Amino acid sequence: MVRSLDSVVKRERAEIGVLLTLTAPTRPMVTEAAAAGLHEMDGFAPVPRLQIVTIEEALLLHDRAVKLPARRDDAFKRAAREEAPARQGRLDL
């Protein structure tokens, strides 16, 4: 299954793949996932490219079960700065 996930990740040009399983991964599964390497992003710690997460880990750790790069601040366009900050609080009533 890990080999299949690896081929899908490569075909879809995804950065990370996660295999959610009911049972603990076997040693060959862990070896195959480790052979896929790490996903590296500038400014963040590298994370495994293929990750195997059990249902138990997902329920206990919630969003921390899958290791992802930290959130980036440049994902959304920033609003333009107010040029005259003194005008901002004025109400014309």
Q: What are 37-48's pLDDT values in tens digits?
A: 999 988 788 999
- pLDDT (tens digit per residue) in 14-29: 999 999 999 999 999 9
Distance CA 91, CA 93 (A): 6
CB 50 within 8 A of CB 35: no
pLDDT at 11: 95
pLDDT at 50: 96
Percentage of the chain beyond pLDDT 90 is: 61
Task: Tell me which of 14-18, 60-64, 78-82, 87-91 is least confident.
Answer: 87-91
pLDDT at 81: 73
- Run of H or E including 50: strand 50-54
